[in-house]
Structure 1
Amino acid sequence: MRAPEGRRRTPGTFAVDECRDCAHAFQNPRPTADGLLLRHHQHPGADDGRTDPDGRRRRGHHRGAARALLPYAEPESWLDVGTGHGHFPQAARAIHPYTSFDGLDPTRRIERAWEAGRVEEAYQGLLTDPEITARLRARYDVVSMFHHLEHTADPRDELRAAHTVLRPGGHLLLEVPHPARPFGTLPLGDRRYWRPRDRPRPLHLMPPRNLLTELRSLGYEILTTRHCTPLPPRAHRILARRTT
Structure 2
Amino acid sequence: MTTTEPPSAPASGPAPAPAAAGKAALRARQVAARRPAYRAELADGTERFFEARRADCPWCGSDRLRIRLRTTDLLQHKPGRFVLDECQDCAHVFQNPRLTGEGLEFYYRDFYDGLGEQRLGGVFGTRTAAYRGRARSVAPFAAAPVSWLDVGTGHGHFCETAREVFPDTAFDGLDLSEGAELAEHSGRLAHGFRGSLPELAPGLAGRYEVVSMFHYLEHSTDPVRELAAAHRVLRPGGLLLIEVPDPQSRYARLLGRWWLPWLQPQHLNLMPAANLRRRLGELGFSVVLEQHREPHDPVDLLAACWLLLDAAAPREDAPWLPGTPPGRLRRTLRGAVFLAGAPVLLLASLLDRLAARSAGRTGLSNAYRLLARRE
TM-score scaled to structure 1, two decimals? Answer: 0.84
Structure 1 residue 37: Cα displacement:
4.7
Q: 2:288 aligns with which of 223, 230, 234?
A: 223
State the alpha-carbon separation in 1 of the partners of residues 254 and 178 from structure 2. Answer: 26
* Per-residue deviation, residues 57-77 of structure 1 (Å, max 9, x unmatched): x11111111111211112111
Aligned to 1:191: none
Aligned to 1:61: 130
- The verdict on how the C-alpha distance between 1:158 and 1:50 changes in structure 2, with shifts beyond 3 A counting, is closer
State the alpha-carbon separation in 2 of the partners of residues 161 and 96 from structure 1. Answer: 24
Show the 5 A alignment for 1:117-132. 117-129=187-199, 132=200
Amino acid at match of 2:238: G
* Contact residue 184 and residue 200 of structure 1 kept, 8 A: no
Higher strand share: 1
Structure 1 residue 29: Cα displacement:
2.7
Structure 1 residue 219: Cα displacement:
0.5
State the alpha-carbon separation in 2 of the partners of residues 221 and 88 from structure 1. Answer: 25
- The verdict on how the C-alpha distance between 1:90 and 1:236 changes in structure 2, with shifts beyond 3 A counting, is same
Question: Which consecutive residues of structure 1, in runs of 5 or more, have no partner in the other structure?
Answer: 189-193
The 3-state SS of whatever aligns with 2:291 is strand
Q: 2:139 aligns with which of 70, 77, 91?
A: 70
Q: 2:230 aligns with which of 162, 177, 191?
A: 162
State the alpha-carbon separation in 1 of the partners of residues 70 and 121 from structure 2. Answer: 37
Aligned to 1:152: 220
* Contact residue 107 and residue 265 of structure 2 kept, 8 A: no
Q: Which moved more, 1:47-56 or 1:170-179?
A: 47-56
Show the 5 A alignment for 1:1-244. 1-3=69-71, 8=77, 10=79, 12-44=80-112, 52=122, 55-56=125-126, 58-73=127-142, 74-129=144-199, 132-179=200-247, 180=249, 181-182=251-252, 186-187=256-257, 199-227=264-292, 228-229=294-295, 231=297, 234-243=366-375
Q: Which moved more, 1:232-241 or 1:113-122?
A: 232-241
Give the 4+ runs in structure 1 shifted more than 6 A: 48-51
- The verdict on how the C-alpha distance between 1:9 and 1:106 changes in structure 2, with shifts beyond 3 A counting, is closer
- Percent identical among aligned pairs is 45
State the alpha-carbon separation in 2 of the partners of residues 39 and 164 from structure 1. Answer: 31
The 3-state SS of whatever aligns with 1:128 is helix
- The verdict on how the C-alpha distance between 1:183 and 1:117 changes in structure 2, with shifts beyond 3 A counting, is farther
* Per-residue deviation, residues 18-72 of structure 1 (Å, max 9, x unmatched): 101011010013333454455444431785799725744x111111111112111
State the alpha-carbon separation in 2 of the partners of residues 93 and 51 from structure 1. Answer: 19
* Contact residue 183 and residue 205 of structure 1 kept, 8 A: no
* Contact residue 76 and residue 99 of structure 1 kept, 8 A: yes
Amino acid at match of 1:217: E
Amino acid at match of 2:85: D
The 3-state SS of whatever aligns with 1:123 is strand
Structure 1 residue 167: Cα displacement:
0.8
Structure 1 residue 16: Cα displacement:
1.2
* Contact residue 177 and residue 235 of structure 1 kept, 8 A: yes
* Contact residue 40 and residue 107 of structure 1 kept, 8 A: no
Cα-Cα RMSD = 2.9
The 3-state SS of whatever aligns with 2:232 is helix
- The verdict on how the C-alpha distance between 1:42 and 1:55 changes in structure 2, with shifts beyond 3 A counting, is closer
* Per-residue deviation, residues 115-156 of structure 1 (Å, max 9, x unmatched): 110001111111122xx1111111110000000010100111
Amino acid at match of 2:215: H
Structure 1 residue 9: Cα displacement:
5.6
Higher helix share: 2
* Contact residue 49 and residue 87 of structure 1 kept, 8 A: no
Q: Which moved more, 1:42-51 or 1:114-123?
A: 42-51
State the alpha-carbon separation in 1 of the partners of residues 254 and 221 from structure 2. Answer: 18
* Contact residue 183 and residue 200 of structure 1 kept, 8 A: no
Question: Which consecutive residues of structure 2, in runs of 5 or more, have no partner in the other structure?
Answer: 1-68, 300-365
